[in-house]
Structure 1
Amino acid sequence: MIRRRTLIWGGSAALALLAAGGLAAWILMPGDNRANPNDAAQVALGKALYAQHCASCHGVKLEGQPEWRERKPDGKMPAPPHDATGHTWHHPDDILFGITKQGIAAYAPPGYESDMPAFDGVLTDEQIWALLAYLKSSWPMDIQARQSILKQQEKK
């Protein structure tokens, strides 16, 4: 009797683990995966582009500028972190792409001032997606999953 319960529980546990793994894969690998944190080549390209175009403001380690939530003396907002401590992951991919390509003005509330330039004409769409893949690759799995859910909600 004990042996049978062990086998049944073992089978149930394996099934639960398989289901959880499948759910994680579904969340992290949706059909629209233009910024894929699991694509090593895309992440490597994004890392190089980040170092060239973004690190001077957003930090070499994605840490952002000090006191990034407080306006600077010139009234502009400092560059936020892009690691898990910031708010980048609170936005779906298409908004992050748009901010990077078009600049912050189209997405920020009125009166929001930033030194963030638009990268249209500087970076290709493929390069912007690679930058986003690099940022996402630095986030813990739970943050990647939460951000991925935003991406799915945006499509509805």
Structure 2
Amino acid sequence: MNTATIKSRGWLPVLLGVVGLLSGCLETEEKVPGRWYTPSQLEQGEQVFLQNCARCHGAGAQGTQEWRKPLADGRYPPPPLNGTAHAWHHPLAMLKNTVAEGGVRLGGSMPGFAGTLSEAEQEAAIAYFQSKWPAEIYAAWLQRGGLK
């Protein structure tokens, strides 16, 4: 087909749409320097975290002050996720599992978000709280096999 035929049959918008889709598939967003996530994930993660996690973990992922001390029912309060507690000891796969399945099996009371948030939203929330980790904590997490 030549250009005149494409225009006369109304194919130009369709052709341009297909080209746009294909070019979008080829583009990849750069990662945040030194991190596994992208700026878009971080931006989405802030919203997801603030809407779903901040009520318990704090807007800055700072957790509760007495997070090491069990409550009267034996469960632990929400820990900091900002790199000052133990979240950085866990690989990404375990962090994802905890967000999806909840923290009850770990002695906490966090609900699972598998039925509430998409996998992409869950990963974005993790990206947000990991963005609060100082570079040395993130590097230690990587050394421990964090991306596994």
What does 1:1-156 correspond to in 2, within 5 Å? 28=34, 33=36, 36=37, 39-106=38-105, 108=106, 112=107, 114-151=108-145, 155=148
User: 2:15 — aligned with what?
Assistant: none
Contact map agreement 2:45 2:121 (CA 8 A) in 1? yes
- Structure 2 gaps of 5+ residues are 1-33
The structure number with the bigger radius of gyration is: 2
Distance in 2 separating the partners of 1:145 and 1:104? 25
TM-score (norm: length of structure 1): 0.68
* Length, aligned pairs only: 115
Over aligned residues, Cα RMSD in angstroms?
1.7
Contact map agreement 2:60 2:132 (CA 8 A) in 1? no
1:85 Cα offset (Å): 1.1
Distance in 2 separating the partners of 1:122 and 1:82? 20
Matched AA of 2:115: G
Distance in 2 separating the partners of 1:92 and 1:132? 11
Distance in 2 separating the partners of 1:149 and 1:124? 28
User: 1:5 — aligned with what?
Assistant: none
1:105 Cα offset (Å): 4.2
1:136 Cα offset (Å): 1.2
Report 1 or 2 for greater relative contact order, CA contacts < 8 Å, sequence distance ≥ 6: 1
User: 1:8 — aligned with what?
Assistant: none
Runs of 4+ in structure 1 off by over 3 angstroms are none
- Structure 1 gaps of 5+ residues are 1-27
SS at 1:151 equivalent: coil
